[in-house]
Amino acid sequence: MMKHIAFSTALSTAMFFGFSTAGLAADGPTPEAETQIIYAGTLIDVESGKALKDRVIVIEGGVITAIGSEATIDDIDLPDDAVLIDMSEMTILPGLSDSHVHLTSDATVHGYKRLTVSTPRAAITGVVNAKKTLMAGFTTVRNLGAPGFADVDLMNAINDGDIVGPNIIPAGRSIGITGGHCDNNLLPYEYKVTSGGVADGPWAVRAKVRENNKYGAKVIKFCGTGGVLSKGTKIGAQQFSFEEMKAIVEEAHLLGLKVAVHAHGAEGIETAIRAGVDSVEHSSLISDEGIRLAKKNGTYLSMDIYVSDYILSEGEAAGILEESLDKERTVGKAQRERFEAAAQAGVKIAFGSDAGVYPHGQNGRQFAYMVKWGLSPMEAIQASTIGNAELFGTSKTHGSIAVGKRADIIAVDEDPLDDVQALEDIDFVMKDGVIYKQD
Ligand code: ARG
């Protein structure tokens, strides 16, 4: 047993890890200490939806072991070499998460330019983007599609400690119909290019789910309608029949994997929800019936309502096809209006940005849009923390600052509940008790 040390004693004897004085080695995280104590000026408690003043958080071996006021923590045994992280002037909150990114994609390389990118090159891009994402305060991401399972390798490299990045829930190859949004339709017939996740028919799609699982996917992504950035697909057109969608969902759920569907058009969205998907990505043209169904079934809507600004301003230079820009001109605006309708209806909303289409590390820009289009700052933060964790099936270990959960904690010097744009510039990032950033 450790000897009892009153917190005030711990404060004076603990190794002081002051915010302004302590620095990081240029490219290395600070190793996780046995016991760390965070002194938080404000703690955003996403479980109660309240901002709590003057909280003390005790972290041992990367796990949160106690939270309280200074007085309550006073009764806890703390070793005298505990590291104190003084954030009494800061607001701390759980590490953010993004339910929809493509780490191996470069936002300045779209359309035909992408044809020159090999899978190994994309993986290296992923290394750079994983670090940017973590430094932006996003400690967990779902990577919804990467050719050649590069995202599985990224996850493994991060978990092995070879590179720095967020927790990754990788989808591997996105599953889609021949000629659909998840296929590659850029080249004519004689080149015979087909994306790795293409399958047609209930048993063929089941086989793809099994293969994705075999090669390390932790979530299944499929395309249920046309898309903006694919050549020759119609936003409103459903892809896959109900039977095929049902087969994907059933097979994935048997294997313990959640299912995310890419869907913009109303019919595809409704069909996918009826087939039992866990989240609808984009949801741009969701009907009132779709909103009703999502609410009834507890389906999450993951609506990337920021990305349109990037596509319409930078997209052309990045190589986005003219037909895609054309689609975006109608989809982007409609999507924001439907987001507002969904938020008003009280549907479960995930935080999903589609970063990769736009630059990684700018994921947080979407918060201001979610607030502009109907959520309170607290609700937007909850979407990106406790909400996403429920969607990912990781709420036991992630999604809030609570005893027993992993110490994924970030801090900002302005209160994001006053101005949610504070989340565009994160000052402190800890993942699993390891400090990666301390401005
Ligand atoms: N990956 C998506 C697609 O190609 C991007 C959609 C972006 N536009 C939007 N308004 N969310 O369909």
H helices present in 218-264, as ranges: 242-254
Kindly report the pTM of this predicted structure.
Answer: 0.94
Whether residue 272 has its Cβ less than 6 Å from ligand 1: no
User: For helices 288-297 and 266-275, what crossing angle results, to 10°?
Assistant: 20
Whether residue 304 has its Cβ less than 6 Å from ligand 1: yes
What's the 427 CA to ligand 1 centre distance in angstroms?
30
Whether residue 331 has its Cβ less than 6 Å from ligand 1: yes
* CATH code of the domain containing 225: 3.20.20.140
Query: Are 102 and 91 found together in one domain?
Result: no
Query: Are 337 and 197 found together in one domain?
Result: yes
Query: Are 223 and 357 found together in one domain?
Result: yes
What's the 399 CA to ligand 1 centre distance in angstroms?
26
Query: Are 339 and 415 found together in one domain?
Result: no
* CATH code of the domain containing 411: 2.30.40.10
Contact of 285 with 264, CB cutoff 8 Å: yes
Query: Are 42 and 132 found together in one domain?
Result: no
Specify the pLDDT at position 32. 64
Query: Measured between alpha carbons, how far is 287 from 293 in angstroms, rounded to an integer?
Result: 10
Burial string for 346-373 (b: 16+ CB within 10 Å, else e) reads ebbbbbbbbbbbbbbbbbbbbbbbbbeb
Query: Are 100 and 162 found together in one domain?
Result: yes
Query: Are 269 and 303 found together in one domain?
Result: yes
Number of domains in the chain: 2
Q: Which residue, chain included where needed, has tokens 């080695």?
A: 25
Query: Are 269 and 142 found together in one domain?
Result: yes
Nearest CA to ligand 1 atom 10: 332
Domain that holds residue 419: 2-95+400-438
Query: Are 250 and 111 found together in one domain?
Result: yes
What's the 228 CA to ligand 1 centre distance in angstroms?
5
Query: Measured between alpha carbons, how far is 172 from 90 in angstroms, rounded to an integer?
Result: 38
Specify the pLDDT at position 79. 85
Query: Are 338 and 307 found together in one domain?
Result: yes
Cα 168 to chain centroid distance, Å, stands at 9
Residue 365 DSSP one-character state: G
Nearest CA to ligand 1 atom 5: 228
Whether residue 263 has its Cβ less than 6 Å from ligand 1: no
Whether residue 182 has its Cβ less than 6 Å from ligand 1: no
Specify the pLDDT at position 19. 39
What's the 339 CA to ligand 1 centre distance in angstroms?
14
Contact of 243 with 202, CB cutoff 8 Å: yes
Closest CA to 197 of 168, 230, 172: 172
What's the 281 CA to ligand 1 centre distance in angstroms?
9
Reported in sequence order, the residue ranges of 152-266 that DSSP labels E, i.e. its strands, are: 167-170, 219-223, 258-263
Ligand 1 atom showing the smallest separation from residue 331 Cα: 10
Residues in CB range of 355: below 8 A, 6 or more apart? 98, 100, 101, 102, 107, 133, 361, 362, 363
Query: Measured between alpha carbons, how far is 224 from 176 in angstroms, rounded to an integer?
Result: 8
Whether residue 335 has its Cβ less than 6 Å from ligand 1: yes
Specify the pLDDT at position 24. 41
Q: Is 386 helix (H, G, I), strand (E, B) or coil?
A: helix
Mean pLDDT by 10 residues, the chain (439 residues): 36 42 46 86 98 97 94 78 94 98 98 97 98 98 97 98 98 98 98 97 98 98 98 98 98 98 98 99 98 98 98 98 98 98 98 98 98 98 98 98 98 97 98 96
Query: Are 83 and 228 found together in one domain?
Result: no
Query: Are 241 and 353 found together in one domain?
Result: yes
Give me 224's structure tokens: 């249920």
